[in-house]
Amino acid sequence: MAEVDIFSKAPKHGYTEVANPVDVEAFKTIVENRRSVRVYDDSPIPESVMKECLRLALLAPNSSNLQTWQFYWVRSAKKKEQLVNYCLNQPAAKYAQELVVAVARPDLWKENNAMMLAKFDEKKKQRMGAAYQYYKKIVPLAYNMGPLGIYGPIKTLAVWLRGLRKPTPRGPFSRSGMGLWAQKSTALACENYMLAMTAHGFDTCPMEGMDSVRIKRLLNLPRAAEICMVISAGKRAETGVYGPRVRFDSARFVKEV
């Protein structure tokens, strides 16, 4: 597998960006206030809030900045009724003011990679040569699975042999691996969206209990698209949270090594 300096050397990109001050206590409040709400009241969510929260969702970190995600804000009353049914009529969907379907799109990597390459003018190609070569050579090498995924076994063997000698990325090597790759980025964006809704005074519930096949058909999605989750939103009703937050001892999950 080709070597690219961007992995080992900081590129001379010539760009600076100063971080804005952050209110840590306000952020803690947002994270602690976010709950999975199953019952909402009748308070509408302003369109401006929905659009802003979706904008913030798209600021999430993602693999190689290929942004292999889509968010379907279901506004049609007929489609929303069907979506509630496909979410098994669970209260979090039935009482929601708004429903958003988060979709992982591993099949968009090539199109989005072309858009990244288009960002490099001649000066930028010279200044950020390693980054340009990453998108020109490494991304296609890593994510192109070939017709019917025939490149997968070849990549698996090549990476295994290389991995005997040095640290080596271990995938994705299949269409299912590409799906997982895109799902991780999409899930990060979902968290951005939910925290943004909390910051605006509204609540959410991520739902995996659903008929993803029927939802794909409802949204007219291609075969390669994968439903990540459906997120309901609204203002929590008095009985919207089913109980206190339950978390196990952090020592079970956080390890210092």
Instruction: Please report whether residue 46 resides in a domain.
Output: yes
Which amino acid belongs to residue 65?
A: N
Distance CA 146, CA 68 (A): 18
Instruction: Please report whether residue 4 resides in a domain.
Output: no
Instruction: Please report whether residue 171 resides in a domain.
Output: yes
Give the model's pLDDT for residue 8: 72
Instruction: Please report whether residue 3 resides in a domain.
Output: no
174-225 pLDDT, tens digit each: 999 999 999 999 999 999 999 999 999 999 999 999 999 999 999 999 999 9
Give the model's pLDDT for residue 71: 98
* HSE value, Cβ hemisphere, 13 Å, CA-based, for 234: 23
Give the model's pLDDT for residue 108: 98
Number of structural domains found in the chain: 1
95-141 pLDDT, tens digit each: 999 999 999 999 999 999 999 999 999 989 988 999 999 999 999 99
Share of the chain above pLDDT 70, in %: 97
Instruction: Please report whether residue 9 resides in a domain.
Output: no
Q: How confident is the model at residue 5 (pLDDT cuts 50, 70, 90)?
A: low
Distance CA 33, CA 23 (A): 15
Instruction: Please report whether residue 18 resides in a domain.
Output: no
Q: Which of 10-19, 45-54, 166-175, 183-192 has the lowest mean pLDDT?
A: 10-19
Distance CA 35, CA 130 (A): 43
Residue 3 has pLDDT above 90, yes or no: no
Give the mean pLDDT of 226-239.
98
Instruction: Please report whether residue 2 resides in a domain.
Output: no
Give the model's pLDDT for residue 142: 93
Residue 2 has pLDDT above 60, yes or no: no
Q: Which domain holds residue 231?
A: 34-238
Give the model's pLDDT for residue 1: 45
Instruction: Please report whether residue 194 resides in a domain.
Output: yes
CATH code: domain of residue 108: 3.40.109.10
Tokens matching residue 114: 């072309």
Q: Which residue has the tokens 């001892």?
A: 249
